[in-house]
Structure formats: C-alpha cells, structure tokens
C-alpha cells in the first residue's frame, strides 16, 4: 500500500462497530478513505466518523475494491464467507469473529503481547481474540515474559453486552420487572417474575449470576471456556499450557472481570509483579485494598486498558500469583484491539 491506506469497517452499524467508529475518531488519524459496510438492510444509513457523515454501503464484493485493510465485526458465518473475499481483493482482513481464530494459517494477535505474529498471514487474515481472553491477556503476557507461565486457572464474570444488544436489552427488561420488589429472597421468585424472557441466557441474569456463557462443548465445557484456553495457548505460544476456566454471566452491562490464578516456572514476588504491571503498556495497576482501591466494572467501563488489582501471592504456592482484572469488553475486548492490529499492518509500509 502507498500513501494513507484505505480502511473498510464491516459491521459498522453493530454494537462493536459503533464503538470502533468512536475509537477511529479518537486515535491518530493515519487513514485515507474510511468506508462503512454493513448488511443490505443497513445500507444508506449515515454514520459519523472523524467528524464527518459517511454513508453505509451494502456488503458486496465490489465494496472491497481499492481497500487496503478491512476490519470485520460480524457473526462467524458472515466472516467465514466474506473475509476471504476481501482478502482475495487485496485487503488485509482483521477479523473480530471466531471464524478463523483456530486456523494455524491465521495469526491471533494482541499488539501488546505478540505483534510480530501479525506479519505472517498466509491467508491475508489476522484474527483478534475473544473479549474474555483479551480482558486478561495483556497483563498475563507481561507476567509471562518475566516469569514464564506454567498453569492458568481463571473464572470470568462477563457483562451482558458480550451477548450483543440482545443481552443488554434482556438485562434492562428484567431489571424493570424486579425493581423495587422483594424478589431474590426465596427460591424461584426472580424466575417467576421474568417468566420465559431470558433472552440469550439460560437463566435470568437480573439479581443473579449464571455459570454459563456460550454453547455446549464436550465433557460439559462451554465454548467461551474453550476459547479462553485455546486462545491463551496460541497467543502466548504455549500449546500445552494447562488451563482451567469457568465462565459466569453477571448483571453488568459492559466490562468483563476475571479472577486469575497464574502459576509460573519459579518463585515470584508481589513486588516484582506489581513493578511489571505498573509499567506494562495497556495495563493500569489499581491495587490498594486498605484504601478500597481495586478495579470494578463501574470504574473501568469506557476505558481502554486492562485494570489489575488484588495482586497477591498464592497462599500455599510461592510460584503462583492471584489477580483480579477488569476490561471493557467492547473497547480493548473487541474494537480497540482490531484498530491496533490495523495500525500495525499500516505501519509495515513505513
């Protein structure tokens, strides 16, 4: 590519696409033309990007003519069909879906952790990880580079926006049904109040936590849990890393949280771990429990970094650390990471 590259945003009208357009307007403007692409039913809409109104084009082969980099935020099946089309037209595709994450010929990239991986892309496609993985992997990657990760045990507390707009709308409907009531004091009363209106979740999420996210996989694991395992292994270059995950949906609109038990190759100290995370790009250390300082979704939402607190050494293992991490699942967990990958690709021409 020569000059300022042409960027396409595919899925521009979706929840993550909307955040991505804001991010493109907030970051350094390295782009020439920015094209907005969505389904035919959204074609003709006008959206603001870089302070200008841009008309949305329908997803079609000719929409990628002259595009240098295409950011995809669409369902897996749409990405599986159209990302190769965009790549065949000469665009480098950065895909936020799960369609290509496990493909050995598609790098899975987090710019703060493995930026070098973006350069090897035989299919012309780069994948961005799942939002749950992205919530923890920047901090974890910094610790791995210093201590050498050997084992990982995590529990996630995932916001409803991870299930898209339907998840957010479901929580808001359910909250309106239970607001100002005595519900939550006896078995089944919340379920009776919301009835069958559980939206994309198997159980009510208002006044509740649901120990399930994703679809059913082998041996009782969920697809979200398998993504965290498989993606962490691929990003960190540790294909045999032991990983145990439990994913939980909580009544938070946006921002995922995780508890992390990370075991390393040798003895670790909290002081060194704090020093690493305090200086790691994309990480904010917020860790003073005595003063009531630790990250929560209410504080982190709308911000870009991974926030880390409750840093402590495991009670019975001098080689392990315990952490609590939070990250906005629509920003670093989705839109920001794809934008950062696109900037890496654009910089290759410099």
Domains of the chain as residue ranges with CATH = 7-129+334-347 (3.40.50.720), 133-329 (3.30.360.10)
User: pLDDT 10s digit of each residue in the chain, 350 long?
Assistant: 567 999 999 999 988 999 999 999 999 999 999 999 999 999 999 999 998 999 999 999 999 999 999 999 999 999 999 999 999 999 999 999 999 999 999 999 999 999 999 999 999 999 999 999 999 999 999 999 999 999 999 999 999 999 988 999 999 999 999 887 788 888 888 988 888 889 999 999 999 999 999 999 999 999 999 999 999 999 999 999 999 999 999 999 999 999 999 999 999 999 999 999 999 999 999 999 999 999 999 999 999 999 999 999 999 999 999 999 999 999 999 999 999 999 999 998 76
Q: Which of 247, 256, 286, 326 is catalytic?
A: 256
The CA distances from residue 169 to 20, 119, 206, 249, in Å, are 21, 39, 11, 15
Which element (helix H / strand E) includes 15? helix 15-26
pTM for the whole structure? 0.94
158 is in an annotated binding site: yes
119 is in an annotated binding site: no
If you ran DSSP here, which 8-state letter would residue 294 be given?
A: -
Q: What are phi and psi of 245, to 5 degrees?
A: -135, 140
How many Å apart are CA 119 and CA 334, to the nearest integer?
A: 20
Half-sphere exposure of 164 (CA within 13 A, CB side): 13
How many H helices and E strands in the chain? 9, 13
41 is in an annotated binding site: yes
State residue 60's pLDDT score.
Answer: 96
Closest CA relative to residue 87, chosen from 97, 95, 75: 95
Catalytic, 256? Answer: yes
Under a CB-based contact definition with an 8 Å cutoff, are residues 318 and 91 in contact? no
Q: Which of 131, 247, 286, 326 is catalytic?
A: 131
How many Å apart are CA 211 and CA 51, to the nearest integer?
A: 42
162 is in an annotated binding site: yes
């Amino acid at each position: 590519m020569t000059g300022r590259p042409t960027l396409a945003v595919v899925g521009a009208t979706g929840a993550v696409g909307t955040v991505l357009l804001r991010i493109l307007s907030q970051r350094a403007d390295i782009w020439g033309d920015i094209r907005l692409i969505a389904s035919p039913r959204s074609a003709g809409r006008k959206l603001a990007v870089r302070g200008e109104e841009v008309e949305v084009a329908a997803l079609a082969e000719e929409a990628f003519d002259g595009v240098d980099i295409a950011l995809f935020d669409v369902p897996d099946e749409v990405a599986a069909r159209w990302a190769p089309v965009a790549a065949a037209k000469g665009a480098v595709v950065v895909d936020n879906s799960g369609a290509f994450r496990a493909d050995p010929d598609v790098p899975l990239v987090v710019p703060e952790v493995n930026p070098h991986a973006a350069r090897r892309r035989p299919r012309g496609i780069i994948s961005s990880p799942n939002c749950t993985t992205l919530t923890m992997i920047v901090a974890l990657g910094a610790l791995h580079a210093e201590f050498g990760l050997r084992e990982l045990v995590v529990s996630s507390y995932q916001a409803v926006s991870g299930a898209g707009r339907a998840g957010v709308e479901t929580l808001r409907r359910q909250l309106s049904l239970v607001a100002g009531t005595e519900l939550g004091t006896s078995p089944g009363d919340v379920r009776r109040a919301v009835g069958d209106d559980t939206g994309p979740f198997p159980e009510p999420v208002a006044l509740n936590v649901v120990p399930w996210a994703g679809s059913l996989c082998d041996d009782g694991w969920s697809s979200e849990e398998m993504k965290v395992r498989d993606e962490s292994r691929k990003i960190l270059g540790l294909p045999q890393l032991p990983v145990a995950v439990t994913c939980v949906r909580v009544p938070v609109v946006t921002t995922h949280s995780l508890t992390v038990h990370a075991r390393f190759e040798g003895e670790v100290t909290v002081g060194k771990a704090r020093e690493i995370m305090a200086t790691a790009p994309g990480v904010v250390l917020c860790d003073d429990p005595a003063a009531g300082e630790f990250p929560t979704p209410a504080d982190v939402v709308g911000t870009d970094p991974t926030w880390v607190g409750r840093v402590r050494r495991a009670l019975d293992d001098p080689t392990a650390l315990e952490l609590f991490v939070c990250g906005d699942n629509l920003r670093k967990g989705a839109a920001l990471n794809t934008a950062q990958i696109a900037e890496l690709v654009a910089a290759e021409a410099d």
